Amino acid sequence: MEQRPSALLRIAAPLKSLVQRFMYLGLIAAAFGLMLLGKVDAVLVDRVRAEVTDAFAPILEAISKPIATVSKGVQNFQELAVIRDENAKLKQQNARLMQWQTVARKLQSENAALQQLLGVVHDKSAKYVSARVIAGSGGAFSNMLIVNAGLNNGVHKGHAVVSDRGIIGRVSQVSNRSARVLLLTDINSRVPVLIESNRTRAIMAGGNTSRTKLIHLPPGARVTPSDRIVTSGHGGAFPPGLPVGVVASVTDGGINVQLFADYSRLEYVRIADFGLNGLVDMSVQRSSAKNKVGGKTRKK
């Protein structure tokens, strides 16, 4: 009884080695045979392939279901972990926002009470005209846009032009059906601004580049990168508080400002009439200047 298994093992060992030796050659021969058969009778091969596919389809489907279930479970677990992290962050942000909301409401009530006490004259509500940018002349000598709104639409010279991110310039020339907008980046542009954090006044000047510079700051002014820049409202050109940009860098060469508006993607703008044209009567100044001759005032 013990010699029988040993005899079978002695016979099976050479057979196993032969099978392993000629397995690779047999697979190659079978592949070539299938290729030749496909050339001879393509219809038969396609039919056999379809039958084999139909036979193995239920097996593949049964195997794929657990794999898909496991994959979906892993994906859900990963998404759950991400949702937990985002939920924790949102809770922290919500708590901070609730604190700021309380502070804002308190400041709003105090501001309303002080304005009523002082009899503050409120600015007029702005009137807006939406226009489409139809041309641009950005280059080394000018940075301007042309919009399809003009005098017929209530647009006048000096009106502020804003985008969804902030102010971009003002109307410099206007005709009946179009207007030319002088951008903040133009070398001729000068805008009175404020550093929002410390209320320091400055003039923002364009240089025909993507960034503007702050000039005419008071001595000892503290400016740091990421400070927000807003319009000051001085000079009557723009109302106070319009967002302009942030301080990008502070170097010996100057203070550069990165504007909020992206001029390369402007398609539509809003032309704003803040009611500032009547604040300064230029006709009075011109008549008073004419009455002065040689430093003396002419008597009427």
Question: Which domains occur in the chain, in start order?
Answer: 127-277 (2.40.10.340)
Q: Give the pLDDT of residue 278.
A: 44
- pLDDT tens digits, one per residue of 116-166: 777 666 666 678 899 999 987 655 556 889 999 999 999 999 899 999 888
User: Is the overall model pTM greater than 0.85, yes or no?
Assistant: no
- Any idea which of 28-32, 40-44, 261-265 has the lowest mean pLDDT? 40-44
Please give the share of the chain, as a percent, with pLDDT higher than 90: 30
Does the structure show a pLDDT above 50 at 292? no
- pLDDT tens digits, one per residue of 63-73: 766 766 777 77
> Confidence class of residue 287 from pLDDT cuts 50, 70 and 90?
very low
Residues with Cβ within 8 Å of residue 198, at least 6 apart in sequence: 221, 222
- pLDDT tens digits, one per residue of 221-257: 899 999 999 998 887 778 888 999 999 999 988 899 9
> Confidence class of residue 297 from pLDDT cuts 50, 70 and 90?
very low
